[in-house]
Each structure stands twice: as C-alpha cells, then as structure tokens.
Structure 1
C-alpha cells in the first residue's frame, strides 16, 4: 500500500527557520564533528597561502566548529554569507559536519568542496500548540532510524582583496545547485494520516489542519481583544492569561490558541484586523470530540509520535525560491496503521458526567482487569485546579487500604478467613488509640463482618501481628507502590507509597490507610483491578499492542486469599458500608474515609464487577457515601467494556 503522507510534509516545503529546526534535530552541534578538513592536491604538496588556500581551509574549519560568523568573515560578502550559511545549517538542524576540498589553485578556478552532514539518528518533533483540546507531538520518543547522512558538493574559489585573501562568496559553495535565497532543508517524513481510535474503533484523535492565533511580542495591548474573539472556542482564555503567557518569554511571539477550521472561519477576518495578530496554518493531533477531556489523553500523542517515527522517513532538499525542491538524500516513509487505544469514549463520557455532578474535587479511574487497559480517567474542574490528580495525586486512601491490610494478614496466616475478631468502639494498640467512625461498636464478630462494616479497631488488632514489611509487600503484589511505564502513559503517574512499619503507632495508622500511606485514584484502581485479575498485578497501559512494564514483578496473591477478599467485598456492598451501590450486579467494593488535617475527610470507594474495576475519590466529601453513589451511577451508565 502507498504510505499516506501528510501534505505538510510533501514538496514543496517551506524553509524551516533556525529556531524550529534547532528543536527538531539532535543537539550534537557542528562542533561535535571536530576538525576534519582535508585539502587534496593533484600529486603535489599542500596548498600554500599565496593562493588563498589557507583562508579556504580556515573557512571550512570554522564551519565544522559551528562558527558561522567567523566563516562568513573570511568571505568577500560576510553579511550575505552569514545569512545563507545560517539558513542552511539551521535548516538541517545544526548537524555535525565534515568537509574536504580537492584542488591546488583556488585563486585560478573554483575547486571542488564536499560537505558531509551527519544528521543524527532521526529523533525529532513538532512545534507545540496551546489549545485546551489540541495536542502536538512530543520529542521524547526513541529514535527509529539509523544514522542519517547527506552529502553535498559545491565549489569554492579565492580572491585577493587588498592585502588579504578571501573566499569568493557564492551560494554554490555548499552545493552547486544552490542559488541566492536558497537553502538546504531537512524534513522528517511521517505518516500523519495515522489516527488514534478508541477500543470500539471510533476516532479519538486525528491529525488536522489548524490555525495558530499568535501575538507579536510587542502586542500585549491586543490581549483583551483576542481573548474576546476566541472565547467561544476557548472560554478559559482571558486577556490576563494571554499577558501572563507573553511575559514568560517577552522576546518571542506568543501562540494564544490553535483553532480548528470551524472555530477560526467565523472570526478569521476580525482576528486578522487586530494589531499584532498573525494566523499561521499548521497541523496538530487533536481530539475529535472537543468536549472529551482527560489527563490520560495528554500522553497519547507521545505514543502516536513513537509509532510514526518507527516507520518514519526523511529528506534533505535544496530549496530554491520559486522552484520545486531538489532532493539530496533521504529515505521513504512507511505506512503506520491506526493506533487503537484501550479507552472507550462512551465510558469516558460516563465518567466525566459522574465527576461533574459533584460540588467537590472528584476523580474517577476505570481499568479492565483482564488486560490492564485503562478504560476511562475523569476529574472535574475543581480537581483540575490541582493538576492531573487522578493519575498523579497523593492522598491517604483511608479504609480502602484495608484490602491490603486484610490480604497481608490472611496471606501471613495471622488471621483466618472465618476468624472472630473484636470490634469495639475504640481500642488502643501499640500506644495508638483508634476509634471507629462515630465510635460504633459491634463486639466480637467474624472478620468478614468487620471488613464489610469497616471496623478500624479490628484492623488495628490484626495489623499488630504483622511483620514490618508485610503491608508494603502485599500492596506491591496488587500494584500499589509500583512504578509503571507504558507508551502513552505519563512518566509522572503515581500509584502509591506504603512504608515499612515497625510495631507501634505508625503501623496501626497505616493499617487503616492513614499516616504515611499515600495513593492516587489511579493507584487504587490498579490495586482493585489486580485483585480482580486473580491477584496477579496488572500492567496498566493505554494503547493496545503496547503493553506496559513495571519496576517490580511480585508474586500474585494466593488464590484462597483472593477468593476471601472478593467475598468480603461483595458483603460490603450487600450488607456493609456500600449498600447504596447494591443495584450494580455482582459488585464488590470497599469504602474509605480519610482524615486530612482539620478539614472534612476525603471519601473513597473502590469496586469491581465483571471486567471493570473503578476507583472514586471525592475530596472533602466528609464520608464515603458520595463516592459510593458516584461509582454506582458510573457503572450503571457505562456497562461493561466493549470486546
């Protein structure tokens, strides 16, 4: 099949500017090549200075070390030479360079000069956008190609100006086909027509032409006018936010927003009339549904870029004014199949609807236990103000951590699945007094009942029998506290942190998810999904066919422990603290209330049914009740993952 190459990469190409291309190419620099100047004669000694050969050698040496101004100063037209040399070297991305010249009298006729441009390994990227529903590729992907080399052949002569020899400046020094105003240019060739689909095959992200609304550095006075015009498409942009952004790099043009064709067309003429506004066209990978928002979407362009670079081609061209570019070197681009995400748009919409219904900061993460695929990640605007807390937040998990404490105790054999345990209203263990919520007391009850009713005092008793590392090790078996890495998954994701605790107050606090125990909603979803995956830690990922890796590979929980915990969690929904969610068939879960200073407690709920595991956090909810209701609403609306 013929690769689908975006018109943005097809000939004719505009000459890249120095700033943009410097970001695209490796940071090796001309100086990396060292001094490799070879002056070859025709069976005679090296050229002598009275022909200008020394000056030609100095000119080539300056180019190799990256001293473009110094090289230009050795020519008959320093200004034109520096402009032309800079355009080509920047257009190639400041590569490493070696040169050679062949001839014995550059003063009599131009001698052949050869330039070998080492363009690196093909790693690169694109200019960044600033739209709240558009994203451009990152440059963090691994290089997909071997070293890229281009060779150009030109001619150079010398002439005596006064008492000094000078290199006769002509663009043809770099290549005999270059003309005034022309330059060498490097391009990455990528199959930009590759889409990202959701797990059902519905388009999730596509490469789309957009218009970048850009303000000149001295046009801050136009900020309010621009904000007013783009507010329909980007309501979060204000005149002040534009001015703040411009102040970060006051010497550079500021891209306010990148707008889709439907958004820019009605206001294009009005924007163009605002002083200092320019409207360059570019391409970006954007979300097909502008309303779809999630922290997990932000990493998908990285996976997309990696896939494109794996099949990427490249081209070095001579770009002369007004004519078709001339290819010097390159490799063709390969076709990349559409990427399929593990996300499901309908589930993401249901998750977003669920969190948007809360007045407090709320986050929800859903994962498919059988595969580790992330199904949905949502947080509302109140949570957004803190950053991507659904994936990176650090919160005490409260009683949801009793899944770990109970699993550790069952696995260690310090408590049996049918054991009778005390559940008084308060208890002092190892110097720490722990109360139940509102000091409720059940007396001596089966461990299943104590778990379902969330008895803090029971957990304190059984934790006192554990080894110092038991809770930390058990948490890791379920992925909590483990670092995960996957294409498209942010490198900053955080599952949790569980300390090693000696017998004493710190262990008692940790047993109920307080003290030094921390977790994110993502981490609690991983824990719950791993338990549902027969106790085998999942490998969370967001692109099908690109599974993740972990910095730990713990043994799974024993099956008898898994079966016991599932029974306890189902009992929690049927008769315990999560009965508000018993309308969801087959649901098992665990509630949690986490104290945070003097403010209202955070409310948690983790649950699993069928092939979906979910974690919900509502900050400052005061109890777990709102989180239970939110999870039930989401699960009833979302159903099961599509096959």
Structure 2
C-alpha cells in the first residue's frame, strides 16, 4: 500500500468516525423530538375526545388538571363534557436545558350557530425520566388566562339580532318587538312566602298552589317567573303588585301581535326554547334561546330569527363587579320579515266576533279576487288553543249544498226555477233522510229548496249527477285542491265513489265529505268571483327544516289530528274558471238565502248585500245526532265561513257571529 493510499484511508476513517459521532447525536435528538411529538399528539387526541383524565400530567399544585380544564370550559358548550372540535399540535421546540419543550396548538371550539372559535395556544411538555408529560396551567386552555384572569372561566353566550316582523296586507306591521314585564318572586325577599303567593295569584289569576310549589323548590335568590304581561296590562296592576314583599320584575321585548288574541293560533308565540325544539333544531337553537314556540313564529323561526351570533368571555367567578373580558365575538344578523295576507281590520272584526262565541268556533275570511286569506280567527272557551279555522276537519253539512248545486247546474240540468219536491222524509237504499225540524215545502222551485235548505230535495236530485261529477264540481270550488297557503291547512275531501246512500248523504255534506272553514270560505269566494283562486297566506316564507308545528286534536275531539297538507310556499296552483252561467245562478240562489231563506237575520247588516248558505252538520253516534253549525257567504269582495262546534242550527248560532263580524267590519 502506498503512502498516499494509506493517508487516504486514515482520513476516511477519521471522517467516518466523526460522522458516526454526529449521527449518534442526531439520532438521540430525533428520539427526543419524536417522543415530544407523540406526547403532544396524545394530549390533542385526549382533549378532543374528552379523555384528559386518562393522561398523566407533570406534577404541579393542581391535583386534578383534567378537572381544572373542564371547570374552565364548562360554559362553552351544552355537552356534559366540553371538548374542542379539533386540536392540532405543531413542531416541538426543546428548551436549552432539555428538560422542557413547547408545542404550539391550534384549538377550535364548536359554538352555537355553527360558529367555530379558533385560536392558538401553547402546550408545555416536561421531561420526567424517559417520558414527556403535559404541564397544566390555565394558559394552556387559552393564552389570555394569566395574571388576573388565571382563575377565570370561559362562557359562551348566544347573541341575537332583531327578530323579523310579520307584515300584513297594506304593509301593516302586525307582529313586532313589544315591551313586556315578567312578574316574578324572589324567596329571600318575601316575609311570608305563602302569603305573597296568595296575593300575587289573586291579582294576576295564576294557579297559586303550583306557584307556591315552584317557589319553595327554587333557591333563595332565584327569579321564579309568575307571568309575563304586556306593558299596558302590567301598568293596570303594578300598583297592586309592587308593594307585595318578594315580588320582583324584569322587562324585555318579545315579538308580539297588536293584542293577545290577534290571530293567536295562527301567529303563535315566542319564548324560551323547549327541550324538544332544541333537539329538533339540529343545533340551530340552544337551551335558553328565545325562539318561536308555535304557529308562524315556529314554522318560520329560522327566517324570522336570522343568524345567531356568539360571544366568548373570561370572567373571574368571585369578581362579579368586574366586566368579563371578551375573547371572541361573532355578531348576529337580523331576522328577515315575513309577509302575510292577513288584513288587520278584517282580523280585528273576526277576533271580536268570535270573542263572543259561547262554544268553540272558527272563522276564515278571503279576498274573492285573489284568494288571499284576510282573517283566521278562533273563539269560544279556550278557543285559541287550536287553529280549527284552518285545521278543523268537519262535515260541512248544508254549506256543501253550494258545491252540490254547482254540480247540479253544471252536469245535472238543474235550473233555479225547476220544480223539485221537498217532502218531510225520503228513503234511499234503506236509509231515511229528513229535513231539519221536519220541514215540508212540497213541490216548489229549486231556488226555494236552496233558500230553505231542504235536504230531501237534494237527496232526491242525487240521481241527476254521479258521485264523480259531484267531486269534480266540489274540486272546482277548492275541495281537495293542493295547499298553497304556506301553513299547515286542510283543504277538504269529497269521495269520487260511493253507493246510493253515500252519494245521497254526500249531496248534503255528510257521509265522508269533510271540510275546514278555510275550505268552505274558499268555495264561497269562487262563486262570488266566478273563478277559484288558491287560498294564500304566506307570501315570502321559507319554512325552517324542523320548524313546522305539530298539530293535535282539539279538546272537543271534533277535528281530525292529521291534516292532509303541510306548509307549502312554492306551490303554484292554477286558478279554476267556473262555468259563468252556473256561477251566476248560484250567486242568485245564495242571495235568496238572505232575502227570504234561513239567513234573513243578515238582511239589514251594514256594508252591502250579503249572499250565503246556512249549514247544520250531523256528527257522532248519538241519537239524535249532535250537530255543528255553519254559515258561509260573501259581501262585496270578502268571502267567509264560520263553524260553531256542537252549535246546533247554523241560523241560530253561526249567523249571529257573522252578523257581528260584518257589523264590526263596516263600523
């Protein structure tokens, strides 16, 4: 081996030796960095999984680091264990001493309204023997939790914008924010709790026993809500309430119509979200949020409430007088107005009329030229608990003679002057049909049969048209048409088939024929206009995905619990042009009901001539059967229908309500 080669080999050995030493050092460094990364990743996974308690932390004064983290973040979400949606660990940086390492973390929390709160913080790792353990400090949760905020807890609060208004006909604001006063009790301020409860319950008419039970169960300084009153209602009783020891008061704004009874089942209410609403909202509504509870307010809550915002604050628990420090804020957006067809004057008249009803009743008024629904009213004892005006499914009784007459005129060759017998009874297929109060008209003009609502005349005329033709005529007047109102509503049904008995009963609105006041009013509107227009109520609505209000049977058990059509706003239902001659004759026949028939009580009503049809509809299995009372008709460009549950004869109970409605409307 030459000297040059020997020198080269020695140099190479030295270089390799040096390189080997460096490689060993780098390997050791790589081992440490890998262990730090593994520890940081384990921490990130445990935090997002809600499993911090499974980790070993570096020794510190805090004996339960996982519990300390949970205490700080308990106000961020509604979950039992608060945990970030995502925690991402960056590259570790080892200290000069080699005893600690800093790892940058990117943290993301899920907040209300699909908001994501993202921020950076730092995880400190401490070397313990051959392991790297996370070190707890409040700044680990958020970097601003140091110094005066080291003992602070985080709180996420929902921010709400202005709730959208409900705008009616003529751009009149029907529902907007109005001031209310929440009357409450605070046990620590009451000298004698039972005496306070009795006094308050006597003034605002609430269940004293239930209130006392709630008050006793509450904490000494808890606000126990008694009742929420509109400002005007509160002002009438405040001088009685305020001196009572233990009474406390809070004011706020709620989205309300002009009066407490104004189309109440239709518009619904706004209040604190129920557990069911929170669950059904898919995270959009949180516990404690103000939200639509029923009616339009619930169906269109997402549109009306807008997009919620959120604020995250850090507050020191024992320093309530110190303003919390805001760490994050996403401002809300205001809700969008909802446009409806309700006319305030017409609705007021309808509400006032049904406010005098002694039995459960529903009324709908419609603009004949457009199909726009002008009023939806419900009345009677606890009448506002159910929207029977739109949802009720009743046999329409003799008001259906408007539809069967239209069928007879169009398909059966009937005329107003044709002689049609009206005996006291008439048997069909073994069933005997009779007239109200055993009335007998004999052989008279069909116009007289219609004016006096002779059942046997219509039963005897059933042979002139088929059941399918009857159903077709009824559909031309709106029965069974698609729902385009924008709310849950029932548009009626008329079977297309049936035996002779069923067909005869269908002619007088019995058997399987069903309708709501909306259906019956829509039919009268079609006759008045000569064209049926689909009833409309909501003009610009976008129903919430889970916002539709569940429907239920009313207390009297008269209305079906399952409406056949749900809220639709995009449905385009074509108008139906009626046979002009048949519609003209039918208008004349309906006018005769008022001039010389069963509704002469409406002869002198102000506002112009009234045309209409009374109805008495049998239901149930009682003998004799119980009956609902009806009246439907039109005056000028307003058509209407009213039903009174278990009301007997239409002329006796329904007509007086219509008379009051029209008189109030004209005043």
Q: Does 2:632 match 1:632?
A: no
Residue 271 of structure 1, CA deviation: 6.7
Residue 209 of structure 1, CA deviation: 4.8
Q: Does 2:44 match 1:60?
A: yes
Which 10-residue stretch deviates more, 436-445 or 574-583? 436-445
Q: Show the counterpart of 2:370.
A: 371
State which of 582, 594, 616 in structure 2 corresponds to 1:593: 616
Distance 2:436 2:455 in 1: 8
State which of 167, 174, 180 in structure 2 corresponds to 1:204: 174
Q: Does 2:314 match 1:314?
A: no
Write out aligned runs for 1:220-299 (5 A).
Answer: 225-226=196-197, 228-229=199-200, 232=203, 234-235=204-205, 237-240=206-209, 242=211, 255-261=225-231, 263=234, 266=239, 273=246, 282-290=252-260, 292=262, 294-298=264-268, 299=295
Distance 1:542 1:366 in 2: 15
Distance 1:600 1:266 in 2: 48
Q: Is the 8 A contact 1:378 1:390 kept in 2?
A: yes
Write out aligned runs for 1:425-440 (5 A).
Answer: 425-440=424-439
Residue 81 of structure 1, CA deviation: 1.3
Q: Show the counterpart of 1:622.
A: 648
Q: Show the counterpart of 1:537.
A: 533
Q: Show the counterpart of 1:83.
A: 71
Q: Show the counterpart of 1:111.
A: 103
State which of 467, 490, 494 in structure 2 corresponds to 1:494: 490
Q: 1:112 aligns to what SS in structure 2?
A: strand
Distance 2:514 2:217 in 1: 34
Q: Is the 8 A contact 1:427 1:435 kept in 2?
A: yes
TM superposition score normalised by structure 1: 0.73
Q: Is the 8 A contact 2:612 2:633 kept in 1?
A: yes
Q: Show the counterpart of 1:409.
A: 408
Distance 2:465 2:41 in 1: 76
Q: Is the 8 A contact 2:193 2:246 kept in 1?
A: no
- Aligned residue pair count: 558
Distance 1:115 1:417 in 2: 81
Alignment deviations for residues 262-313 of structure 1 (CA, whole Å, 9 cap, x no partner): 6285467567726xxx766654213343464632231243477444445x46
Change (3 A) 1:282 1:533: same
Q: Show the counterpart of 1:519.
A: 515
Alignment deviations for residues 168-208 of structure 1 (CA, whole Å, 9 cap, x no partner): 3334334323444242626344224x544553566533324
Q: 2:330 aligns to what SS in structure 1?
A: strand
Q: Is the 8 A contact 2:303 2:335 kept in 1?
A: no
Q: Is the 8 A contact 2:358 2:380 kept in 1?
A: no
Which 10-residue stretch deviates more, 202-211 or 574-583? 202-211
Write out aligned runs for 1:471-510 (5 A).
Answer: 471-482=470-481, 484=483, 486=485, 489=487, 491=488, 493-510=489-506
Distance 2:381 2:665 in 1: 23
Distance 1:607 1:186 in 2: 53
Change (3 A) 1:273 1:557: same
Distance 2:385 2:533 in 1: 29
Distance 2:645 2:241 in 1: 42
Q: Is the 8 A contact 2:595 2:603 kept in 1?
A: yes
Q: Show the counterpart of 2:638.
A: 612
Residue 591 of structure 1, CA deviation: 0.6
Q: Show the counterpart of 2:139.
A: 172
Residue 631 of structure 1, CA deviation: 0.7
Runs of at least 5 residues in structure 2 that lack an aligned partner in the other structure: 1-28, 269-294, 317-321, 543-566
Q: Show the counterpart of 2:120.
A: 153
Change (3 A) 1:608 1:115: same
Q: 1:515 aligns to what SS in structure 2?
A: coil
Change (3 A) 1:288 1:386: closer
Q: Show the counterpart of 1:127.
A: none
Which 10-residue stretch deviates more, 602-611 or 389-398? 389-398
Residue 148 of structure 1, CA deviation: 4.7
Q: Is the 8 A contact 1:91 1:185 kept in 2?
A: no
Q: Is the 8 A contact 2:459 2:508 kept in 1?
A: yes
Runs of at least 5 residues in structure 1 that lack an aligned partner in the other structure: 1-42, 123-146
Change (3 A) 1:324 1:285: same
TM superposition score normalised by structure 2: 0.70
